[in-house]
Amino acid sequence: MEFIPIIILVIVVIVCLSCINVVPQAKAYVVERLGGYQATWSVGIHFKMPLIDHVAKRVVLKEQVVDFAPQPVITKDNVTMRIDTVIFFQITDPKLYAYGVENPIVAIENLTATTLRNVIGELELDETLTSRETINTKMRASLDSATDPWGIKVNRVELKNIIPPAAIQDAMEKQMKAEREKRESILRSQGEKESAILVAQGKKEAAILDAEADKAAAILKAEAKKEATIREAEGQAQAIMAVQKANADGIRMLNEAGATSEVLQLKALEAFTKAADGKATKIIIPSEIQSMAGLVKSMTEIAKEN
């Protein structure tokens, strides 16, 4: 009997310890008293009444990600495809989450499937493949509105995969192959065109350069010929001036030496002879010079006889 108080004390301590609860970060506890909602415990230490209070649900407040299996959907143009979605959601009201719906994840999955069918049913195949952002926005708005009474906020909805039928995939691959071949042909033709243009421009520039070079050469040749002609004319003019100066000097010297008219006529004859230079076929000699020439001939013969 002496151990009974000790046993009772141990039971009391255990019961008291079981009434102490510590709620960790990013979690919330929904507490019920005698089967009814009592309170929602946030982060920290909390005490509950023994035997009448209990934690009905432990709720995670962090953002959660659920990846649902592919769902069959039909487009507006009657093409059946499979689309799987990823939902990013967060619990904002633990009480509504605990009492709003029986199985929230299953409810979200079914709601996602029906919403996806409704959204895709308004789009054709090409729009479905190119309008992911539009589909994501519509689904997020619809799911967020529907899950608000459950204490759930849908932050994002993403279409993970869009799987069209095999026949559609083959047709799309053939179309893409044709488009790639078309772009390749266009690029090849553009390259050939640009190459031909560059070659033509090169030939044109080469022809222009050749013409300019020929023109410059002709100009230089003409200038050289002109310079040679000028120099030749200057040389001839200088030679004539030298001859005339020499003649003038000779006449001046004869005048200074007191030469007679016969000597002057003889010099004139020599000048005519030089003027002919063996090239003239006929030379008209004045009568005075002719008589002088006869005199010279007579003097030459007398000199020979002596």
User: How does pLDDT run across 76-102, given as a tens digit for each residue?
Assistant: 888 888 998 999 999 999 999 999 888
pLDDT of residue 295 exceeding 60: no
Phi, psi of 38 (to 5 degrees): -110, -55
H-run or E-run covering 274: helix 261-276
CA-wise closest residue to 246 among 272, 277, 271: 271
CB 7 within 8 A of CB 40: no
Q: What is the 3-state secondary structure (H, E, C) of 49-95?
A: CCCCEEEEEEEECCCEEEECCCEEEECCCCCEEEEEEEEEEEECCHH
Query: What residue segments make up the domains of the chain, in order of their start?
Result: 11-60, 64-164, 264-306
The C-alpha atoms of residue 251 and residue 231 are separated, in whole angstroms, by 30
271: pLDDT strictly greater than 70: no
Answer positive or negative: Cα dihedral of 29, 32, 36, 37: negative
Q: How far apart are CA 214 and CA 220, in angstroms?
A: 10
Distances (CA, A) of 122 to 69, 85, 116, 141: 22, 18, 10, 16
* Per-residue pLDDT at 296: 45
Q: What are 18-46's pLDDT values in tens digits?
A: 788 888 998 999 999 888 899 999 988 88
Q: Which of 260, 105, 87 is nearest to 158 (CA)?
A: 87
pLDDT tens-digit profile of 118-163? 999 888 888 888 888 889 999 999 999 999 999 999 999 999 888 8
| Res 265: pLDDT | 60
Say yes or no to pLDDT of 302 above 50: no
Higher pLDDT, 280 or 78: 78
Contacts of 40 (CB under 8 A, 6+ apart): 28, 29, 30, 31, 94, 95
What pLDDT, on a 0 to 100 scale, did the predictor assign at position 54? 87
Q: Beta-strand (E) ranges in the chain?
A: 20-23, 27-33, 36-41, 44-47, 53-60, 64-67, 71-74, 80-91, 152-163
- Taking the C-alpha atoms of residue 87 and residue 63, their distance in angstroms, rounded to an integer, is 10
- Residue 28's pLDDT is 93
Domain 64-164 - what CATH class? alpha beta
pLDDT digits (tens, 9 = 90+) for 193-214: 888 898 888 888 888 888 888 8
- The mean per-residue pLDDT over the stretch 185-194 comes to 88
- Token pair 């004319």 is found at 233
Q: Look at residues 155, 142, 133, 134 and name the one whose alpha carbon lies nearest to residue 112.
A: 142
Q: What integer pLDDT is reported at residue 274 of this predicted model?
A: 55
Is the pTM of the predicted complex or chain greater than 0.85?
A: no
128 burial class (0-12, 13-18, 19+ CB within 10 angstroms)? buried
